[in-house]
C-alpha cells in the first residue's frame, strides 16, 4: 500500500471543510457587530450618544431626557431589542432610527 503524501486529496478536503465551518461560524457575529455600528452611527447623526457595553452585544443610548439599552437577543428571538419597553415618543423615535439603519 503506497504512503499518503502531504498533498493527498483526502487531507485537503478535510482542511476545506474545517475552514468552511469556521468562516460560517464567524460571519454571524461580524454581521451583528456591523449592524450595531450602523445603528450607532445613525443614532449619533440624530444627536444621541451611544456606548458599547463590555462583553455583550449591547449599546447604551442616551438622549436629552432618557436613556435606553439596545441589546441583541439570540435564538429563539434573534432580534435587536430596546429596553425599557415604555411608550414614550423618544423610544418611538429611536426605534424608527434603528429600523432605518437595519434596512
- In tens, the pLDDT along 6-57 reads 555 554 444 444 444 444 556 888 999 999 999 999 999 999 999 999 989 9
* Cis status of the peptide bond prior to 84, with omega within 30 of 0: yes
- Strand stretches in 1-103, DSSP E: 49-52, 58-62, 67-73, 79-83
Task: Give residue 94's pLDDT.
Answer: 96
Task: Give residue 22's pLDDT.
Answer: 43
Identify the structural domains of the chain with CATH numbers, from first to last: 31-102 (3.30.310)
Angle in degrees, 0-180, between the axes of helices 9-45 and 89-102, rounded to the nearest 10: 140
- What is the spatial distance between Cα 42 and Cα 82, in angstroms, rounded to a whole number? 15
Task: Give residue 25's pLDDT.
Answer: 57
Q: Tell me, what DSSP letter sits at residue 69?
A: E
Q: Which three cell numbers stand for residue 82?
A: 430596546
Label residue 86 by pLDDT band (50, 70, 90).
Answer: very high
Amino acid at each position: 500500500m503506497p504512503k499518503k503524501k502531504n498533498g493527498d486529496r483526502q487531507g485537503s478536503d478535510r482542511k476545506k471543510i474545517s475552514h468552511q465551518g469556521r468562516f460560517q461560524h464567524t460571519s454571524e457575529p461580524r454581521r451583528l457587530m456591523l449592524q450595531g455600528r450602523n445603528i450607532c452611527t445613525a443614532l449619533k447623526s440624530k444627536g444621541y450618544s451611544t456606548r458599547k457595553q463590555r462583553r455583550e452585544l449591547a449599546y447604551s443610548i442616551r438622549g436629552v431626557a432618557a436613556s435606553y439599552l439596545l441589546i441583541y437577543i439570540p435564538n429563539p428571538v434573534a432580534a435587536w431589542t430596546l429596553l425599557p419597553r415604555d411608550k414614550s415618543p423618544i423610544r418611538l423615535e429611536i426605534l424608527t432610527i434603528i429600523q432605518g439603519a437595519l434596512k
